[in-house]
Amino acid sequence: MHHFHYIRKRLFCEAVAVESLVQKHGTPLYVYSQRTLTEHFQRLDRAFAPLDHQICFAVKSNGNLCVLRALANLGSGFDIVSGGELRRVLAAGADPRRCVFAGVGKTGAEIEFALRRGVCYFNVESVPELERLNRIAARLNKVAPVAVRVNPNVEAFTHAKITTGTYANKFGIAFEQVEAVYDLAAKMKNLRLRGLQMHIGSQLTRVSPFAKAVRKVLPLARRLAEKYELEFFNIGGGLGIVYQPALASGPENWWKTPAAKDILTPERYGADLAPLLEPLGLKILLEPGRFIVGNAGILVTRVEYVKRTGKKTFVIVDAAMNDLIRPAFYDAYHEIIPLTRKNGAALKTDVVGGVCESGDYFCKNRPLPKVVEGDYLALMSAGAYGFVMASNYNARPLAAEVLVNGNQSAVARQRQPVEAIWSGEKLAPWLK
Ligand SMILES: *Cc1c(COP(=O)(O)O)cnc(C)c1O
């Protein structure tokens, strides 16, 4: 569900013609729909209304200050994974007491900063981290609020690079060891045990793995909650979105096509989990990223060249893997549509960027309407893990970002001036 649609053949974001934004701001251009992310937030919030709960938006999926402020205004908290993200959230005017600090590699400086700013609690991923946290808190004469991240070891049925809840990956503490870790942490004087956390993976398109993980962790959560007077159970994020309206099927894709009653919607997610969670009596935290912003953003790009070789048609565009790396990194699918709707037969096309890597493509052999130089294309569902993963590879400046709200639009981030790419560099004295 989103608010990008054609009106008389022209693509609109809410009430704004996307082409008018391109004329003003150029390409490549990220365009976000505030109404879409607002509705997603509210839908999930409503689905958990029967429980005492708090949504903590995963900043790593989209950290733009406009996005963060819009969500903070709706009452969202934030899931942060670095000191930089905490500073970002503060810059957006959000309340640090609604921030939970996760990540396997928190540095001493990051921990100290978060303690001074008073985050809600730390999601701890290892025993050495607990010890470091305790040491730093003692030095600052503070008590660090913590939750331990339990790895429930369940299969999430998603891409290998975004599954996190099995023992094959680096996240969390093994289910069997968690209780002993709480007993250990309870002896550390400058820690306060406040909750338990889990997160099993990203882009999950079915409810059953979430329900399975919750069922598995529930008895442990109940024991720990009683023993240590915990306040929170954080069930993580990972709710998937629809990238490909017409899903590929076939035996190799069986995991992408769950049974109808298992297809993830926020309503079903809430309806299946709430009855399990309610008896626990804890405040439930959620850490969705992609679900809130994924379908709320598009990346608009201009066709530079149409190159026909023997059997193939390459459409070379001015966005590239440095702007949106998901296809190269995760084999991700993004729907590609023209800003001006076209009639006529579809042509098997590779849409590629200009970066010198064969991995720099947005799609391969996909039937697309015929386009010519100067046309604009939209890469749909690029709101999550899009701009945040952008880089300056090939000395390409970071794209601009625009926020749309009804018939208003505003630059959410200006296009990076090219000189800014090397502004931190200096010639060594002996080279001068
Ligand atoms: C990445 C991440 C999230 C958000 O994942 P989405 O799939 O975007 O919802 C939430 N919690 C943790 C711990 C994460 O690492």
CATH number assigned to the domain comprising residue 302: 2.40.37.10
Phi (first) and psi of residue 270, to 5 degrees: -65, -45
Q: Choosing from 13, 56, 120, 356, which is the catalytic residue?
A: 356
User: Distance (Å, rounded) from C-alpha 431 to C-alpha 396?
Assistant: 25
Residue 303's nearest CA partner among 214, 357, 254, 370 is: 370
| Mutation test residue for ligand 1: of 56, 57, 61, the one with most atoms within 8 Å of CB | 61
Q: How many domains does the chain have?
A: 2
Residue 118 within any structural domain of the chain: yes
* pLDDT for 166: 66
Residue 232 within any structural domain of the chain: yes
Taking only the tens place, the pLDDT of each residue in 246-284 is 654 444 444 455 677 788 999 999 999 999 999 999 999
Task: Say whether both 120 and 172 belong to one domain.
Answer: yes
Low-confidence ranges of the chain (pLDDT < 50): 248-255
CB 326 within 8 A of CB 362: no
* pLDDT for 251: 43
In short, whether 386's Cβ falls inside 6 Å of ligand 1 is no
Residue 413: which domain range? 295-422
Task: Say whether both 192 and 223 belong to one domain.
Answer: yes
Task: Say whether both 186 and 319 belong to one domain.
Answer: no
Task: Say whether both 362 and 380 belong to one domain.
Answer: yes
Q: Whose CA is nearest to atom 3 of ligand 1?
A: 237
In short, whether 60's Cβ falls inside 6 Å of ligand 1 is yes
> How many angstroms does the Cα of residue 151 sit away from the middle of ligand 1?
14
* pLDDT for 162: 62
User: Distance (Å, rounded) from C-alpha 405 to C-alpha 408?
Assistant: 5
In short, whether 234's Cβ falls inside 6 Å of ligand 1 is no
Domain boundary among 252, 271, 289: 289
In short, whether 88's Cβ falls inside 6 Å of ligand 1 is no
In short, whether 40's Cβ falls inside 6 Å of ligand 1 is no
- The ligand 1 atom nearest the CA atom of 123: 13
Amino acid at 73: N
Residue 15 within any structural domain of the chain: no
Residue 61 within any structural domain of the chain: yes
> How many angstroms does the Cα of residue 238 sit away from the middle of ligand 1?
6
Q: Whose CA is nearest to atom 10 of ligand 1?
A: 237
Task: Say whether both 149 and 118 belong to one domain.
Answer: yes
User: Distance (Å, rounded) from C-alpha 102 to C-alpha 60?
Assistant: 11
> How many angstroms does the Cα of residue 85 sit away from the middle of ligand 1?
14
Task: Say whether both 251 and 283 belong to one domain.
Answer: yes
- The ligand 1 atom nearest the CA atom of 384: 8
Residue 25 within any structural domain of the chain: no
Task: Say whether both 228 and 301 belong to one domain.
Answer: no
Task: Say whether both 267 and 155 belong to one domain.
Answer: yes
> How many angstroms does the Cα of residue 59 sit away from the middle of ligand 1?
9
Cβ burial of 258 (10 Å; 0-12, 13-18, 19+) is middle
| Mutation test residue for ligand 1: of 60, 232, 269, the one with most atoms within 8 Å of CB | 60
User: Distance (Å, rounded) from C-alpha 307 to C-alpha 316?
Assistant: 7
Task: Say whether both 250 and 331 belong to one domain.
Answer: no
Residue 318's nearest CA partner among 397, 388, 384 is: 397
Give the CATH number for residue 215. Answer: 3.20.20.10
Q: Would you call 356 a catalytic residue per the annotation?
A: yes
Task: Say whether both 162 and 95 belong to one domain.
Answer: yes
